[in-house]
């Protein structure tokens, strides 16, 4: 009986930390050249700091969850477990979501709009270069378990809106 080869890694390069780190560095450098100060009122700086802490907390919660399941955390290595516990129960990519929230918070905290602009670019790049490849890798590795998980949990964070009697939208935090 032949031994099966473990599935190939989804990437050879750890794109997400490179992309988010580059976005943060570029935002800081761009602001030195083309300052965006004064656009964001200082009253929003604490809101940004709070968002940064929330993003960091989401990152750490995901890392602890992966550690407890003995799951590989490196984005360029093969998956070793399908983690579905919190925060993977609200987002299939809580580390990337945490990084996105962190950069958005930095835009407000530091009054630097370049963080917001480059955060949007980073989301697109991470989706293309990492998430879609990781999803194909996980589908091949975990099959039906992965399919059921993707039906329950959104890629990022899905806010569902439903109408209430007074006609105003109501946020439903549970994905369809």
Domain coordinates in residue numbering, the chain = 15-32+42-72+82-172
Q: What is the spatial distance between Cα 161 and Cα 54, in angstroms, rounded to a whole number?
A: 23
Q: What is the spatial distance between Cα 91 and Cα 93, in angstroms, rounded to a whole number?
A: 5
pLDDT computed for residue 108 by the predictor:
97
**163 pLDDT above the threshold of 70:** no
Residue 98 CA, chain-centre distance (Å), reads 5
**11 pLDDT above the threshold of 70:** yes
Token reading at 163: 């109408």
The proportion of the chain whose per-residue pLDDT surpasses 90, expressed as a percent, equals: 74
C-alpha separations of 46 from 41, 103, 104 in Å: 11, 14, 13
**Which residue spans within the chain are E strands per DSSP?**
160-163, 169-172
pLDDT tens digits along 76-96: 898 999 999 999 999 999 999
**175 pLDDT above the threshold of 50:** no
Residue of 78 and 114 predicted with greater confidence: 114
User: What is the pTM (predicted TM-score) of this model?
Assistant: 0.85
Residues 119, 51 contacting (CB under 8 angstroms): no
Question: What mean pLDDT, rounded, does the chain reach?
Answer: 88
Of 107, 115, 101, the residue nearest 30 (C-alpha)? 115
Strand, coil or helix: what is 11? coil
């Amino acid at each position: 009986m032949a031994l099966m080869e473990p599935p190939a890694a989804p990437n050879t390069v750890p794109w997400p930390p490179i992309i988010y780190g580059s976005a943060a560095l570029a935002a800081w450098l761009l602001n030195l050249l083309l300052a965006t100060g004064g656009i964001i009122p200082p009253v929003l700086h604490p809101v940004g700091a709070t968002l940064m802490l929330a993003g960091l907390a989401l990152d750490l919660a995901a890392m602890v969850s992966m550690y407890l399941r003995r799951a590989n955390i490196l984005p360029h290595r093969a998956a070793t477990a399908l983690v579905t516990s919190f925060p993977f129960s609200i987002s299939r990519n809580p580390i990337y979501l945490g990084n996105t929230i962190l950069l958005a918070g930095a835009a407000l905290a530091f009054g630097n709009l370049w963080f917001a602009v480059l955060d949007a670019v980073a989301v697109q790049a991470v989706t293309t270069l990492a998430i879609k490849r990781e999803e194909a890798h996980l589908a091949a590795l975990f099959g039906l378990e992965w399919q059921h998980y993707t039906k329950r949990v959104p890629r990022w964070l899905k806010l569902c809106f439903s109408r209430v009697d007074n006609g105003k939208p109501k946020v439903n935090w549970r994905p369809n």
